[in-house]
Amino acid sequence: MKLYPNSLYLGLFFVLIYHHPVFGCEEWQKTYETGYATICYPDDKELYSFTGAIKRGFSIFSDNPGKNQSLTKERVDMIVDRVSRILDMFPPDLHFSIYLYPAHREIERVYLRLGASHIFEKAPIAFYSHKAGAIYVSIENITGGVLAHEIAHTVINFHFRTPPPERMQEILAQYVDKHLWEE
């Protein structure tokens, strides 16, 4: 096989483009594994804030994420299980990343860098990237409902070999929003 100099440059170009830290946890100091997700975050404070924000309802006597490390896993996996049941979709290979950013302005930069969906005129407070297989969230805006909405996009994209159009996914994710906490 004869290699041409231009093909080497082209190959290097693609490696540089696709080996961007936003697609892996390399830029993050820490990771946390749940049954379905790898959570990438800069320090424990962000993970604790995220865990506290995604709980259901409000309780004065809720557990402290700093003292109970398993709370993050329990809450994220419970939301994934709930979303899967609502959608009646149980993809066997479901595993994705969740990137935690302290502020919305950081989500805006990632959103633009990824060239994410064109449904929104501006960056949402959280979004799912099918290409990266990841959810990106702003800790200052995240709730259990917002995370469930993005997990719905994730489940839908893992369930179908060819994901449905974005508008159809949005309808299904909004269905999850409506029925998330029904018993």
Q: Is 100:91 a contact under the CB 8 Å cutoff?
A: no
162 exposed, middle or buried (CB, 10 Å; 0-12, 13-18, 19+)?
exposed
Which two structure tokens, joined as six digits, stand for 21? 């830290």
What is the per-residue pLDDT for 58?
Answer: 45
The C-alpha atoms of residue 112 and residue 136 are separated, in whole angstroms, by 12
Domain definitions of the chain by residue range: 25-179
What is the per-residue pLDDT for 4?
Answer: 43
Q: Is 28:41 a contact under the CB 8 Å cutoff?
A: yes
Q: Is 177:148 a contact under the CB 8 Å cutoff?
A: yes
pLDDT digits (tens, 9 = 90+) for 79-131: 999 999 999 999 999 999 999 999 999 988 888 887 765 556 678 889 999 88
pTM of the prediction?
0.80
- Beta strands (DSSP E) in 2-122 are 30-33, 37-41, 96-101
157 exposed, middle or buried (CB, 10 Å; 0-12, 13-18, 19+)?
buried
Rounded to 5 degrees, what angle do the CA atoms 15, 151, 29 make? 50
What is the per-residue pLDDT for 114?
Answer: 79
For 43, residues 6+ apart whose C-beta sits below 8 A from its C-beta are: 29, 30
The domain 25-179: what is its CATH number? Answer: 3.40.30
pLDDT mean values, one per 10 residues, the chain (183 residues): 40 33 62 95 92 71 63 95 97 95 90 69 86 93 95 97 93 95 80
Nearest one of 19, 47, 23 to 33, comparing CA atoms: 47
